[in-house]
Protein backbone atom coordinates (compact mmCIF):
# COMPACT_ATOMS: atom_id res chain seq x y z
CA UNK A 1 0.00 0.00 0.00
CA UNK A 2 1.34 3.43 -0.91
CA UNK A 3 0.42 6.80 0.53
CA UNK A 4 -0.03 9.84 -1.66
CA UNK A 5 -0.48 13.42 -0.58
CA UNK A 6 -2.24 16.07 -2.64
CA UNK A 7 -1.46 19.69 -1.73
CA UNK A 8 -4.44 21.83 -2.74
CA UNK A 9 -3.32 25.04 -1.01
CA UNK A 10 -1.31 26.12 2.00
CA UNK A 11 -4.34 25.57 4.22
CA UNK A 12 -5.66 22.40 2.61
CA UNK A 13 -3.83 19.10 2.87
CA UNK A 14 -5.28 15.79 1.82
CA UNK A 15 -3.61 12.47 2.59
CA UNK A 16 -4.94 9.54 0.65
CA UNK A 17 -4.03 5.90 0.73
CA UNK A 18 -3.84 4.82 -2.88
CA UNK A 19 -4.12 1.11 -3.51
CA UNK A 20 -2.00 -0.05 -6.41
CA UNK A 21 -1.49 -3.73 -7.00
CA UNK A 22 -2.99 -6.40 -4.82
CA UNK A 23 -0.71 -6.58 -1.79
CA UNK A 24 -3.67 -6.42 0.58
CA UNK A 25 -7.42 -6.83 0.12
CA UNK A 26 -9.59 -3.92 1.27
CA UNK A 27 -11.91 -5.55 3.78
CA UNK A 28 -14.05 -4.52 6.74
CA UNK A 29 -11.06 -5.06 9.03
CA UNK A 30 -8.77 -3.07 6.71
CA UNK A 31 -10.75 -0.56 4.60
CA UNK A 32 -9.15 1.90 2.18
CA UNK A 33 -9.42 5.44 3.58
CA UNK A 34 -11.11 7.54 0.88
CA UNK A 35 -11.77 11.21 1.49
CA UNK A 36 -13.87 12.62 -1.36
CA UNK A 37 -12.46 15.93 -2.43
CA UNK A 38 -12.64 18.66 -5.05
CA UNK A 39 -11.82 18.28 -8.71
CA UNK A 40 -12.02 14.50 -8.96
CA UNK A 41 -9.18 13.69 -6.59
CA UNK A 42 -8.60 11.21 -5.21
CA UNK A 43 -9.63 8.57 -7.68
CA UNK A 44 -9.69 4.92 -6.65
CA UNK A 45 -9.12 2.36 -9.42
CA UNK A 46 -9.14 -1.25 -8.30
CA UNK A 47 -11.11 -4.51 -8.37
CA UNK A 48 -13.71 -6.03 -6.10
CA UNK A 49 -12.32 -9.53 -6.73
CA UNK A 50 -9.89 -9.50 -3.79
CA UNK A 51 -12.24 -7.81 -1.32
CA UNK A 52 -14.38 -8.75 1.64
CA UNK A 53 -16.18 -12.07 1.23
CA UNK A 54 -18.05 -12.17 4.57
CA UNK A 55 -20.77 -9.57 4.05
CA UNK A 56 -23.12 -10.98 6.69
CA UNK A 57 -25.87 -12.09 4.33
CA UNK A 58 -26.67 -8.80 2.67
CA UNK A 59 -26.96 -5.04 2.86
CA UNK A 60 -29.50 -2.45 3.81
CA UNK A 61 -31.29 -4.71 6.28
CA UNK A 62 -31.55 -7.55 3.74
CA UNK A 63 -32.88 -5.34 0.92
CA UNK A 64 -29.86 -6.35 -1.21
CA UNK A 65 -27.47 -9.29 -1.34
CA UNK A 66 -23.85 -9.37 -2.45
CA UNK A 67 -23.14 -12.37 -4.65
CA UNK A 68 -19.45 -11.46 -4.94
CA UNK A 69 -16.70 -9.94 -2.81
CA UNK A 70 -16.85 -6.28 -1.80
CA UNK A 71 -14.13 -3.61 -1.84
CA UNK A 72 -14.45 -1.55 1.34
CA UNK A 73 -13.76 2.19 1.50
CA UNK A 74 -14.05 4.24 4.69
CA UNK A 75 -14.94 7.95 4.42
CA UNK A 76 -15.66 10.80 6.80
CA UNK A 77 -18.23 13.30 5.56
CA UNK A 78 -17.68 16.69 7.18
CA UNK A 79 -19.92 19.79 7.22
CA UNK A 80 -17.48 21.74 5.03
CA UNK A 81 -17.34 19.21 2.18
CA UNK A 82 -16.98 20.72 -1.27
CA UNK A 83 -18.17 17.88 -3.50
CA UNK A 84 -21.70 16.94 -4.50
CA UNK A 85 -21.32 13.41 -5.89
CA UNK A 86 -19.23 10.27 -5.79
CA UNK A 87 -19.44 8.50 -9.16
CA UNK A 88 -18.68 4.88 -9.98
CA UNK A 89 -17.83 3.00 -13.13
CA UNK A 90 -17.43 -0.74 -13.40
CA UNK A 91 -15.94 -3.19 -15.81
CA UNK A 92 -16.87 -6.45 -17.39
CA UNK A 93 -17.88 -9.47 -15.36
CA UNK A 94 -20.41 -7.86 -13.03
CA UNK A 95 -22.86 -5.00 -12.45
CA UNK A 96 -21.43 -2.54 -9.91
CA UNK A 97 -23.42 -1.67 -6.79
CA UNK A 98 -22.36 0.67 -3.97
CA UNK A 99 -23.79 0.76 -0.46
CA UNK A 100 -23.15 3.45 2.19
CA UNK A 101 -23.36 2.15 5.76
CA UNK A 102 -22.65 4.17 8.91
CA UNK A 103 -19.48 3.00 10.64
CA UNK A 104 -21.49 2.72 13.85
CA UNK A 105 -23.76 0.11 12.15
CA UNK A 106 -20.77 -2.05 11.23
CA UNK A 107 -19.39 -3.01 7.85
CA UNK A 108 -20.60 -6.58 7.48
CA UNK A 109 -23.54 -6.73 9.85
CA UNK A 110 -26.39 -6.04 7.35
CA UNK A 111 -27.07 -2.67 8.97
CA UNK A 112 -29.27 0.04 7.55
CA UNK A 113 -27.89 1.80 4.49
CA UNK A 114 -27.71 5.56 4.32
CA UNK A 115 -27.92 5.49 0.52
CA UNK A 116 -27.02 3.34 -2.47
CA UNK A 117 -25.57 3.91 -5.93
CA UNK A 118 -24.33 2.13 -9.03
CA UNK A 119 -22.51 2.79 -12.30
CA UNK A 120 -25.41 4.94 -13.53
CA UNK A 121 -26.42 6.52 -10.22
CA UNK A 122 -23.75 8.46 -8.27
CA UNK A 123 -23.95 8.85 -4.51
CA UNK A 124 -25.29 12.29 -3.64
CA UNK A 125 -23.36 14.12 -0.91
CA UNK A 126 -26.57 15.71 0.35
CA UNK A 127 -28.02 12.23 1.05
CA UNK A 128 -25.24 11.47 3.54
CA UNK A 129 -25.28 13.23 6.93
CA UNK A 130 -21.99 14.22 8.54
CA UNK A 131 -20.17 11.23 9.99
CA UNK A 132 -17.96 8.27 9.15
CA UNK A 133 -19.21 5.65 6.70
CA UNK A 134 -18.21 2.52 4.85
CA UNK A 135 -18.71 2.68 1.08
CA UNK A 136 -18.97 -0.91 -0.10
CA UNK A 137 -18.40 -1.53 -3.82
CA UNK A 138 -19.58 -4.96 -4.93
CA UNK A 139 -21.66 -6.84 -7.50
CA UNK A 140 -25.38 -6.13 -7.79
CA UNK A 141 -27.66 -8.59 -6.07
CA UNK A 142 -28.91 -10.00 -9.40
CA UNK A 143 -25.38 -10.99 -10.56
CA UNK A 144 -24.11 -14.59 -10.49
CA UNK A 145 -22.42 -16.00 -7.40
CA UNK A 146 -18.80 -14.84 -7.18
CA UNK A 147 -19.31 -11.94 -9.62
CA UNK A 148 -16.59 -9.32 -9.37
CA UNK A 149 -14.50 -6.98 -11.50
CA UNK A 150 -12.68 -3.67 -11.89
CA UNK A 151 -14.10 -0.32 -10.80
CA UNK A 152 -13.30 3.40 -10.58
CA UNK A 153 -14.56 5.77 -7.87
CA UNK A 154 -14.22 9.56 -8.23
CA UNK A 155 -15.73 12.61 -6.54
CA UNK A 156 -16.54 15.98 -8.08
CA UNK A 157 -16.46 19.49 -6.67
CA UNK A 158 -14.37 22.58 -6.44
CA UNK A 159 -11.66 23.94 -4.20
CA UNK A 160 -13.17 26.44 -1.75
CA UNK A 161 -12.16 30.03 -2.39
CA UNK A 162 -11.96 32.76 0.24
CA UNK A 163 -12.75 36.29 -0.91
CA UNK A 164 -9.78 38.56 -0.28
CA UNK A 165 -11.34 41.89 -1.23
CA UNK A 166 -14.53 43.28 -2.69
CA UNK A 167 -15.40 46.65 -4.19
CA UNK A 168 -18.26 48.19 -6.15
CA UNK A 169 -17.51 50.95 -8.61
Q: What's the CATH code of the domain at 31?
A: 2.60.120.380
Number of domains in the chain: 1
The Cα 123–Cα 116 span in angstroms is 7
Question: 112 lies in which domain range?
Answer: 24-155
Residue 4 located in a structural domain: no
pTM here?
Answer: 0.75
Residue 132 located in a structural domain: yes
Residue 15 located in a structural domain: no
Whether the ω angle into residue 42 lies within 30 degrees of 0, i.e. cis, is yes
Residue 11 located in a structural domain: no
**What average pLDDT does the structure give for the chain?**
74
Give the 3-state DSSP-derived string for the chain, with helices as H, strands as E and coil as C.
CEEEEEEEECCEEEEEEECCCCCCCCCCCCCEECCCCHHHCCEEEEECCCCECCCCCCECCCCECCCCCEEEEEEEECCCCCCCEEEEEECCCCCEEEEEEEHHHCCCCCCCEEEEEECCECEEHHHCCCEEEEEEEEECCCCCCCCCCEEEEEECCCCCCCCCCCCCC
Mean pLDDT confidence for 25-35: 83
Mean pLDDT confidence for 64-89: 85
The 10s digit of each residue's pLDDT in 90-101 is: 888 899 998 888
The 10s digit of each residue's pLDDT in 137-154 is: 988 888 888 899 999 998
- What per-residue confidence (pLDDT) applies to 152? 92
Residue 16 located in a structural domain: no
Residue 73 located in a structural domain: yes
Residue 68 located in a structural domain: yes
Amino acid sequence: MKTRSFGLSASVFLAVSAFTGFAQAQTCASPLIFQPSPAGTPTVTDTTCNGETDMGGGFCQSAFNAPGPGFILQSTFAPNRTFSTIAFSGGSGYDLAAYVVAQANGCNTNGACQTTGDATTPLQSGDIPDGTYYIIVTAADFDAAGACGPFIVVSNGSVPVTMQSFSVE
